[in-house]
Every structure is written in C-alpha cells, then in structure tokens.
C-alpha cells in the first residue's frame, strides 16, 4: 500500500476523492468540495493524500502541517475496502511517514459507531484527551459548532498547550 499526494489533474483520482468525501462525511463535518480542492492547490500546509493498493484507490486522508504537529482532518476508506484492515494499515503508514505528533478530532462517544471509531484510534496508539473541551467550528457560514474530542499520537501534551493547538487548527483549517 502506498500513500501519495493526490494528482489533481487525474480525473479518476479527483472524482474518487470527491465522491468518497461527500459519501463519508455529513455536510456539517466537511467544507464545500471545491473549497477543499482549492485549498490543496493554493495552501502548501494542506495535503490530500490518496491510498493505493494493487493500483486500486482505497481511500484518502487530508491533513495540515501546522509546524509543531500534524492535524489529520479527514480520513475515509472506500466502502468495498472497509473492515478489511485497511484503516489500520493506512494509519500505521501515515504515522510512520510523519515526523511530528498527529492530532485529530473525533465525535463524542455517544453512539456505538463513535465509540468504535475512538477504540480504533486507541488500538493504534492514539490518546483520547477526555478532559479537554473542544468544538469543531462550522465549515460553512451560518453552521453550528460541533462538540468533539481530540486524540493525539506522539510527543505532545494537549492539556498544557491547548490554547496554541486550538488556535493553530482553527486559524488554518477553519479560517477563524
């Protein structure tokens, strides 16, 4: 399996990411598709990586390089590859490729699916920062904040540095 930057000129890759993004994330948890692709073209901090195995597109991962840490924003595996161990393979590869701590947002553990998602990240080494209050800002004007939890892997203390971390995520990823 390889993790490589999206070739925006490839219609196959572009369409794959666009469709999986829309299918995998509710409108409240994603920015407009064109805005995401424009960010990728214009902002060197933002990356869209595609996951390929045996020449098949398996999934994608978007992330921000925020100097002292990586903020993993969206991660999705195509439905035909789910529950086949691909998520773990991808995250292991991503963690290995990054030389900085990684932070991500997860939904509050209020449903079986959100509890499973948190458990998935914990099994691969992420720490859930249960005591940190965090809200995902809206992606679209007029939207609402969404209560979330933060998870991290690597040498970073979110509790001690939450003000700076939140500021870096909010100003870069959410433009606020």
What does the pLDDT read at residue 140? 86
pLDDT at 83: 87
As a whole number of angstroms, the distance between CA 63 and CA 47 comes to 5
Instruction: Count other Cβ atoms within 10 Å, centred on residue 86.
Output: 17
Count of beta carbons in the 10 Å neighbourhood of residue 78:
18
Domain 2-174 fold is Aminopeptidase (3.40.630)
CA distances from 152 to 113, 124, 155 (A): 19, 11, 9
* Tens digits of residue pLDDT in 115-158: 999 999 999 999 999 999 999 999 988 889 999 999 999 999 99
Average pLDDT over residues 26-35: 93
98: buried, middle or exposed (CB in 10 Å: 19+, 13-18, 0-12)? middle
Average pLDDT of 49-62?
A: 96
Average pLDDT over residues 148-170: 97
Among residues 40, 83, 80, which one has the least CA distance to residue 63?
40
Q: What is the pLDDT of residue 3?
A: 94
The domain segmentation of the chain, as residue ranges, is 2-174
pLDDT of residue 141: 84
How high is the mean pLDDT of the chain? 95
The whole-angstrom separation of Cα 34 and Cα 175 is 16
Predicted confidence (pLDDT) at residue 74 exceeds the cutoff of 90? yes
**CA end-to-end span of the chain, whole Å?**
36
């Amino acid at each position: 399996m390889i993790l490589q930057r999206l070739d925006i000129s490839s219609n196959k890759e572009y369409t794959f990411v666009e469709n999986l993004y829309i299918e995998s994330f509710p409108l409240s948890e994603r920015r407009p598709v064109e805005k995401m692709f424009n960010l990728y073209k214009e902002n060197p901090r933002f990356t869209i990586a595609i996951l390929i195995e045996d020449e098949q597109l398996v999934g994608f991962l978007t992330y921000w390089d925020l100097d002292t840490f990586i903020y993993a924003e969206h991660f999705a595996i195509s439905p035909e590859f789910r529950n086949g161990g691909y998520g773990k393979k991808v995250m292991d590869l991503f963690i290995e490729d990054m030389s900085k701590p990684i932070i991500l947002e997860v939904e509050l553990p209020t449903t079986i699916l959100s509890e499973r998602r948190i458990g998935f990240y914990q099994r691969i080494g992420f720490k859930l920062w249960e005591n940190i209050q965090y809200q995902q800002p809206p992606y679209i004007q007029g939207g609402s904040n969404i209560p979330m939890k933060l998870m991290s892997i690597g040498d970073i203390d979110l509790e001690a540095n939450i003000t700076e971390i939140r500021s870096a995520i909010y100003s870069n990823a959410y433009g606020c």
